[in-house]
């Protein structure tokens, strides 16, 4: 629609030429689509023992996507607008997409290491949805047009709803239903807000000058309302307060590899959209910093305090991910170059920590068949190596040295401090103080895991469990970066510094 | 002199921890010897550090020239675009402010390792964690880069949490988490200030190198540095060439604060209508006062002490509390001397209150270990009072008190451990007339009690005397705290004598009586291992009581440099 209007002058031929020339830039996305199609075809052709073939296709497809992103790393330059102004490919988008493919690969490894791996690989449905979700997050990182944002978010959401409901149990159906209802309402509200903004400005491209000019002519109240509705949709995907209520149920019901994906990829993709969106909002026009500041404080506080009472590890991590969404928002609030860099740093570390945590939880889940805190009793003495790895992840999630979670927290709050020094806005210092004090609350529930593993014994005598060497190696690979990036955080930061997030 | 001596001191225990980690589980008896060996090496190296320390070096404590045994290497630095960059160094060194505490830590850790020989279960984990704790404690005392300091300061909590939580008494889990949470709240306050500080402070030498004023570090003479400082203050150096720094020595110099920075002395901003420097000072003060601990942040201490195994109690009382005091000296007072002066009355008041409140609590305790824990609160109050005085005598007294209390409280907790090993009971009222059954034990505990209550001839007396002299002089020399504070504080001495003598009378004198008949067999006098732990402490306590110059000569110049800094800021 918008595309056609703005490009009418160009003529259809030029448009099609432009689009086909841009297609080369979307090679990673196209690879994802082709992989999904291949999975489908493979599933149709072969009848028996499909799991090996399906897993192989999925792995190769994801690895190839990652390779394409790495090879295309240097070519992006300052970024380019593609597809007639629908998406923008820049360093940040490529970095996030590479991060997501790494997450996708770890997710696939987790599925393979799951005790019930049959449910992932017996037919192509699950993998298809999984690739759809990853594709959606890829598109989210690049969208600069409201329609594209909506399509990308819906792609992620619909895949997520079905993924939650795909595994047949009563809990799954309930969680999927909750998720769907919440998601539908959030989407409806968001698109309603977007329609207002379109009405105000006459453009769907929120990075354009027309958009900035358009909203500057609108009265504060309707503009605020439209913006709040729109941002609400992003916050839903970010899983932050007040759109967080679905996450504990979904996390508890879904298989662990899927939860690991849910809790990281869509969150960071939503963060990217938020970054691009708020960059076009003049602070003098509306005080979005105040709204996001309140959302950040509320997410951290609600997430952390709710996590205190949980009896299930996955539920606990769900609430902790709500709190981390609040921390990620701090980077947006800082509204500066270093804010963006530190949010990307935080996001990368968060993704690593999350996959590490869920991977190790799954290892213990494989042994016990459940993820309650009680099932972890005495595991530290039985499986000391894996127990210590999980301890390291928990310490990193809390944000204590010597783990990278500390650097992430340090940098994101440093950027907030800098912005506060310049802007002097009160909400920033409140977020600063609340955010850091929340660490003390979070310590309490993160430490519950080592508490059960090392302090609590078991009454019943059992067959001794032994750790699997593959699990140990994979766990080490996931945890080692957390230690390395504490001691040499400049390795990652200097990469991030070379990226610019300016739309 | 050995190159990189301090680095060896810090990391020898870590090496020991790795050895423990890789030794097979079956070699149960070897772990304690590895730990003892590693800490023995650390002790020897620390004594070497003290002997090679040149006590005649003078200078303000905000100049790197007066530091000795310095090890400095680049750790990492990050570009911040137009905001310049920041750099983190591996930077350790000693001066009179931390030298004595380094020695204390080495002594107490070694003796704690001997006392840990009684641990029977999960020895591998215990000694591994104990060695990790040792590294972070030693590192904390010598680290002079705030990032490095914070690393050691925070990392200490983890081994401590597990040492209390796994090897502790019946309520160990509660005590462990309480300890962790309290200290973490304190360290978050410190982190908040750390973020503010490193964004406000630049490193003149590195900034000079970045801006091309000098080629390498060796060219950085004092004149060059002050030229660079002038250039930064007058805005002649581009902001992208500014190198922000975590250097704790730089942070103590006003000239190293960026001209428009929030925490600079001349430019300070406001938080909630209060001076940002005051707020930052208070945050640091509270952060370390929790560790110290001072009233009203002391409630974690009795729980942690009562539940912790003996050796961990020894390390906790002997060294960990001192990190609180040292932190206040090295960070809060050094960075914000003007705020310290502004709040001196408050610090003095809380010191005074801790002295009295701790002593009165001790008087009411029924558990011997709790009594000693509260006596620690009382004695740490003297550290605050001495610091609040802001005079040479007061600060010297504070440091001396930390050193002396480290030795005395270690001995007290070891002695309680001796009793607990035999009967698994610490109730004061459950014993009577122990002197007739355990005469040698009684002699040693009497010495420890007298040393702790400040009898002349023991190190505690010198420390408290210095604090009192400093506090009395304060109102005439600098005007930090009023006369009545030390006057009222003397009450603490009376109360101290009260609870110790009363305990002696109830538990040790009179006719032999114990609550449980079975104890009559188990209550035997000290054995050889216990002598090995206790006798050196007795000798040290008496030595530092009758010949204080051993320590005073070492720390005197630095303390003068430090108080000079305080006085300069007031004028």
**Contact B192/B283 with Cβ under 8 angstroms?**
yes
Residue A462 has pLDDT above 80, yes or no: no
Q: From CA A33, how far away is CA A133, in angstroms rounded?
A: 11
Residues of chain B with Cβ-Cβ distance to A402 below 8 Å are: 151, 155
User: What is the pLDDT at residue A119?
Assistant: 82
Tens digits of residue pLDDT in A81-95: 887 778 888 888 899
pLDDT of residue B27: 80
The alpha carbon of residue A488 is apart from the nearest alpha carbon of chain B, in Å, by 6
CB B64 within 8 A of CB B13: no
B475: contact with A, CB 8 A cutoff = no
Q: Which of B173, B196, B262 sits opposite A455 (nearest CB)?
A: B173
Across the interface, whether the CB atoms of A401 and B262 are under 8 A apart is answered no
Phi-psi map region of B524: left, alpha, beta (phi>0 left; psi -120 to 50 alpha): beta
Residue B536, CA distances (Å) to A43, A335, B107, B342, B542 in order: 78, 60, 10, 42, 10
Q: Residue B476 has what pLDDT?
A: 86
Give CA–CA dist B382/B401, Å, rounded.
7
- Model confidence over A201-225: pLDDT tens digits? 888 888 888 888 888 888 889 999 9
- C-alpha B59/C-alpha B559 separation (Å) is 10
Greater pLDDT, B104 or B276: B104
Give the pLDDT confidence score for residue B416 in this predicted structure: 92
Whether the CB-CB separation of B181 and B303 falls below 8 Å is answered with no
Distance from CA of B528 to the nearest CA of A (A): 33
Label residue A166 exposed, middle or buried (CB < 10 Å: 0-12, 13-18, 19+).
Answer: middle
- Amino acid B403: pLDDT: 94
Of residues A285 and A131, the one with the higher pLDDT is A131
Which positions ≥6 away from A287 have C-beta within 8 Å?
A: none
Instruction: Confirm or reject contact between B18 and chain A (CB < 8 A).
Output: no
A17-26, A43-52, A265-274, B508-517: which has the highest mean pLDDT? Answer: A265-274
Within 8 A of B162 by CB-CB distance, chain A residues are 450, 454
Phi, psi of B79 (to 5 degrees): -75, 135
- Model confidence at A501, pLDDT cuts 50, 70, 90, reads low
Nearest to B251 by CA among B98, B62, B380, B113: B62
Place of tokens 């759109």: A243
CB B269 within 8 A of CB B213: no
Confidence of residue B522 (pLDDT cuts 50, 70, 90): confident
In angstroms, the separation between the Cα of residue B165 and the nearest Cα of chain A is 7
C-alpha gyration radius of chain B: 24
Q: Please name the residue of chain A whose CA is at the shortest distance from the CA of residue B184.
A: A440
If pLDDT is split at 50, 70 and 90, which confidence band does A1 have? very low
Tokens read off for A290: 């105040």
φ, ψ at A116 (rounded to 5°):
-105, 55
- Looking at chain B, which residue has its C-alpha nearest residue A413? B195
**3-state secondary structure string across B385-420:** HHHHHCCHHHHHHHHHHHHHHHHHHHHHHHHHHHHH
Q: Are B88 and B77 in contact (CB under 8 A)?
A: yes
pLDDT at residue B538, as a whole number: 94
Half-sphere exposure for A262 (CA within 13 Å, toward CB): 34
Is it the case that residue B213 has pLDDT exceeding 90?
A: no
Output the pLDDT for position A118: 81
Look at residue A4 in the predicted model and tell me its pLDDT.
46
Enter the DSSP assignment of B298: -
Residue B200 φ/ψ, nearest 5 degrees:
-105, -20
pTM of the model as a whole:
0.92
Mean pLDDT of chain B: 89
The answer to whether the CB of B109 falls within 8 A of the CB of B82 is: no
A2 has a pLDDT exceeding 50: no
Which of B164, B191, B239 would you mutate first to test chain A, the one with the most A CBs within 10 A? B191
Furthest-apart CA atoms within chain A: distance in Å? 79
Q: Which of residues 255-274 of B touch A (CB under 8 A)?
A: 261-262, 269, 271
| Chain A positions touching chain B (beta carbons under 8 Å) | 337-338, 395, 400-402, 406, 410, 413-414, 417-418, 421, 429, 432-433, 436-437, 439-440, 443-444, 447, 450-451, 454-455, 487-490, 493-494, 497
Rg from Cα positions in chain A: 22
Instruction: For chain A, say whether B286 makes contact (Cβ under 8 Å).
Output: no
What is residue A460's predicted lDDT score, i.e. its pLDDT?
60
Phi-psi region of A122 (alpha: psi -120 to 50; beta: other; left: phi over 0): alpha
The interface predicted TM-score of the complex, written ipTM, equals: 0.89
What is the per-residue pLDDT for A464? 59
Kindly report which listed range (A307-316, A360-369, B514-523) carries the lowest average pLDDT score: B514-523
Cβ distance B173 to A437 less than 8 Å, yes or no, reads no
Contacts for B384 with CB less than 8 Å, ≥ 6 apart: B289, B292, B294, B325, B328, B347, B348, B350, B351, B354, B398
Chain B residues touching residue A455 (CB < 8 angstroms) = 165-166, 172-173, 176
Q: Which two tokens stand for residue B13?
A: 């225990």
Cα A117 to Cα A133: distance, rounded to the nearest angstrom: 19
- Answer whether B79 touches A (CB < 8 Å): yes
Using CA coordinates, name the residue in chain B closest to A400: B154
**Does residue A5 register a pLDDT over 60?**
no
Task: Give the whole-angstrom CA distance, residue A261 versus residue A259.
Answer: 5
pLDDT for the residue A156 = 94
| Strand pairing class (B85-94; B243-245) | parallel
Q: Which of A122-136, B51-65, B322-336, B451-465 has the lowest mean pLDDT?
A: B51-65
In the structure, what pLDDT confidence band is assigned to residue B81 with cuts at 50, 70 and 90? low
- Give CA angle at A492 (A487, A494), nearest 5°: 110
Q: Provide the sign of the torsion angle of the four alpha carbons B72, B20, A455, B114, taken in this order.
A: negative
pLDDT in tens, B372-395: 999 999 999 999 999 999 999 999
Q: How many CA atoms lie within 13 A of B265 on its CB side?
A: 17
Please give the helix or strand (H or E) that residue B19 lies within, else none: helix B5-22
CA distance from start to end of chain A: 22
Contact B83 A488 (CB under 8 A): no
| A406 CA: distance to closest CA in chain B (Å) | 10
**pLDDT at residue B190, as a whole number:** 93
Over range A163-176, report the average pLDDT.
Answer: 84
| Rounded CA separation A373/A455 (Å) | 12
Within an 8 Å CB–CB cutoff, is residue B180 touching chain A? yes
Separation between Cα atoms, residue A390 and residue A450, nearest integer Å: 8
| Residues A170-186 as b or e (16 or more Cβ within 10 Å = b) | eebeebbebbbebbeeb
Identify which has the larger pLDDT, A463 or B420: B420
Look at residue A461 and tell me whether its pLDDT is greater than 80: no
**Does the N-terminal peptide bond of residue B296 adopt cis geometry, omega within 30 degrees of 0?**
yes
Helix axes B439-453, B484-507, angle to 10 degrees: 170
What is the reported pLDDT for B100? 92
Q: Give the pair of three-digit tokens for residue B158.
A: 């983890």
Sequence-distant (6+) residues with CB within 8 A of A321 are: A239, A247, A251, A263, A267, A303, A354
> Over 90: is that where the pLDDT of B465 sits?
yes
Minimal CA separation from B407 to chain A, in Å: 30
- pLDDT value for A9: 54
Which residue does chain A place closest to B273, by CA atoms?
A426
Closest to B147 (Cα-Cα) out of B75, B40, B200: B75
* Pairing outcome for strands B68-79 and A87-89: unpaired
pLDDT > 90: what percent of chain B?
Answer: 50
Task: Dig out the tokens for A144 from the structure.
Answer: 């600069």
Q: Name the average pLDDT for chain A.
A: 87
Return the pLDDT at A503: 41
Question: For the segment A10-54, what is each residue's pLDDT rounded down to a tens digit?
Answer: 677 877 887 887 888 888 999 999 999 999 999 888 877 788 888
pLDDT in tens, B311-369: 999 999 999 999 999 999 999 999 999 899 999 999 999 999 999 999 999 999 999 99
Tell how far CA A106 is from the center of its chain: 14
Residue B514 has pLDDT above 90, yes or no: no
Is the CB of residue B198 less than 8 Å away from at least one CB of chain A?
A: yes
Q: In this complex, do B80 and A338 lie within 8 Å of one another by their Cβ atoms?
A: yes
């Amino acid at each position: 629609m918008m595309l056609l209007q703005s490009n009418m002058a160009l003529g259809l031929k030029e448009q099609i030429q432009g689009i086909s020339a841009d297609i080369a830039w979307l090679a990673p996305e196209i690879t994802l689509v082709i992989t999904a199609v291949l999975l489908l075809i493979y599933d149709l052709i072969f009848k028996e023992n499909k799991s090996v073939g399906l897993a192989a296709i999925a792995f190769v497809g994801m690895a190839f996507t990652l390779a394409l992103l790495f090879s295309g790393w240097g070519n992006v330059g300052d970024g380019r607008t593609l597809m007639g102004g629908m998406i923008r490919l820049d360093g940040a988008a490529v970095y996030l997409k590479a991060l997501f493919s790494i997450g996708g690969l770890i997710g696939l490894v987790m599925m393979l290491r799951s005790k019930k791996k049959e449910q992932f690989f017996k037919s192509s449905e699950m993998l298809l949805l999984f690739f759809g979700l990853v594709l959606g997050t890829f598109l989210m990182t690049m969208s600069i047009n409201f329609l594209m944002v909506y399509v990308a978010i819906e792609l992620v959401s619909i895949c997520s709803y079905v993924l939650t409901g795909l595994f047949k149990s009563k809990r799954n159906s309930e969680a999927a239903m909750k998720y769907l209802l919440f998601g539908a309402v959030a989407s409806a509200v968001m698109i309603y807000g977007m329609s207002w903004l379109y009405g105000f400005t006459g453009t769907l491209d929120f990075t354009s000058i027309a958009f900035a000019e358009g909203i500057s002519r609108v009265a504060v109240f309707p503009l605020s309302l439209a913006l709040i509705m729109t941002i609400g949709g992003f916050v839903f995907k970010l899983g932050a307060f007040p759109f967080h209520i679905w996450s504990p149920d979904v996390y508890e019901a879904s298989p662990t590899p899927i939860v690991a994906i849910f809790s990281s990829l869509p969150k960071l993709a939503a963060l990217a959209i938020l970054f691009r969106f708020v960059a076009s909002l003049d602070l003098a026009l509306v005080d979005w910093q105040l709204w996001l500041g309140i959302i950040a404080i509320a997410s951290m506080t609600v997430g952390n305090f709710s996590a205190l009472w949980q009896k299930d590890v996955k539920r606990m991590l769900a609430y902790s991910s709500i709190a981390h969404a609040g921390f990620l928002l701090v980077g947006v609030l800082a509204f500066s170059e270093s804010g963006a860099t530190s949010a990307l740093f935080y996001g990368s570390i968060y993704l690593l920590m999350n996959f590490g945590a869920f991977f190790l939880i799954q290892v213990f889940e494989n042994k016990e068949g459940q993820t309650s805190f009680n099932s972890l009793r005495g595991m530290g003495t039985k499986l000391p190596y894996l127990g210590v790895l999980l301890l390291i992840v928990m310490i990193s999630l809390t944000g204590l040295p010597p783990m990278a979670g500390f650097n992430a927290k340090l940098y994101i709050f440093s950027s907030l401090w800098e912005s506060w020094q310049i802007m002097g806005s009160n909400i920033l210092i409140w977020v600063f103080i609340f955010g850091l004090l929340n660490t003390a609350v979070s310590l309490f529930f993160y430490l519950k895991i080592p508490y059960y593993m090392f302090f609590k014994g078991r009454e019943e005598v059992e067959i001794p469990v032994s750790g699997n060497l593959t699990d140990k190696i994979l766990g080490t690979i996931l945890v080692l970066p957390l230690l390395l990036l504490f001691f040499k955080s400049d390795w990652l930061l200097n990469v991030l510094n070379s990226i610019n997030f300016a739309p | 002199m050995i190159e990189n001596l301090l680095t060896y001191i810090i990391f020898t225990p870590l090496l020991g921890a790795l050895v423990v980690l890789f030794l097979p589980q079956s070699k149960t008896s070897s772990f304690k010897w590895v730990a003892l060996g590693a800490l023995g090496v650390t002790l020897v190296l620390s004594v070497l550090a003290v002997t090679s320390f040149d006590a005649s070096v003078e200078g303000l404590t905000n100049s790197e020239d007066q530091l000795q045994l310095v090890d400095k290497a680049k750790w990492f630095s990050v570009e911040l675009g137009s905001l310049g960059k920041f750099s983190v160094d591996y930077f350790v060194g000693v001066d009179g402010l931390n030298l004595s505490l380094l020695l204390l830590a080495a002594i107490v850790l070694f003796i704690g390792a001997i006392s840990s020989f009684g641990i029977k279960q999960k020895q591998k984990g215990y000694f591994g964690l104990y060695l990790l704790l040792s590294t972070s404690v030693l590192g904390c005392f010598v680290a002079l880069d705030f990032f490095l300091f914070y690393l050691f300061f925070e990392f200490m909590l983890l081994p401590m949490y597990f040492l209390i939580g796994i090897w502790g008494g019946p309520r160990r889990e509660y005590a462990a988490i309480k300890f962790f949470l309290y200290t973490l709240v304190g360290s978050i306050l410190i982190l908040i200030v750390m973020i503010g500080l490193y964004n406000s402070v630049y490193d003149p030498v590195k900034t000079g190198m970045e801006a091309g004023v000098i080629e390498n570090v060796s060219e950085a003479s004092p004149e060059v540095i002050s030229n660079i400082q002038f250039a930064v203050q007058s805005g002649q150096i581009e902001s992208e060439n500014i190198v922000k720094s975590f250097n704790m020595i730089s942070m103590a110099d006003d000239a190293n604060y960026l001209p428009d920075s929030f925490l600079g002395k001349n430019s300070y901003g406001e938080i909630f209508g209060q001076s940002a420097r005051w707020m930052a000072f208070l945050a640091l003060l509270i952060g370390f006062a929790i560790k110290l601990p001072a009233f009203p942040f002391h409630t974690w201490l009795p729980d942690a002490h009562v539940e912790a195994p003996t050796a961990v109690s020894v390390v906790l009382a002997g060294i960990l509390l001192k990190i609180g005091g040292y932190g206040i000296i090295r960070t809060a007072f050094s960075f914000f001397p003007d705020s310290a002066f502004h709040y001196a009355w408050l610090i003095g008041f809380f010191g005074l209150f801790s002295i009295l409140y701790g002593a009165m609590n001790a008087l009411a305790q029924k558990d011997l270990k709790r009594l000693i824990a509260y006596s620690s609160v009382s004695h740490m109050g003297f550290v605050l009072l001495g610091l609040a005085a802001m005079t040479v005598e007061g600060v010297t007294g504070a440091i001396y008190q930390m050193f002396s209390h480290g030795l005395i409280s270690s001995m007290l907790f070891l002695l309680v451990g001796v009793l607990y090993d035999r009967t698994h009971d610490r109730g004061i009222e459950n014993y009577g007339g122990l002197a007739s059954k355990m005469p040698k034990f009684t002699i040693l505990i009497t010495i420890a009690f007298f040393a702790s209550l400040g009898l002349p001839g023991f190190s505690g007396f010198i420390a408290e005397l210095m604090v009192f002299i400093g506090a009395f002089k304060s109102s005439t020399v600098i005007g930090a705290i009023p006369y009545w504070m030390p006057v009222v504080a003397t009450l603490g001495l009376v109360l101290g004598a009260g609870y110790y003598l009363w305990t002696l009378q109830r538990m040790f004198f009179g006719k032999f009586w114990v609550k449980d008949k079975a104890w009559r067999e188990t209550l035997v006098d000290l054995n050889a291992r216990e002598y090995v732990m206790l006798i050196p402490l007795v000798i040290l306590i008496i030595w530092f009581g009758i010949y204080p110059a051993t320590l005073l000569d070492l720390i005197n110049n630095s303390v003068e440099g430090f108080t000079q800094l305080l006085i300069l800021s007031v004028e």
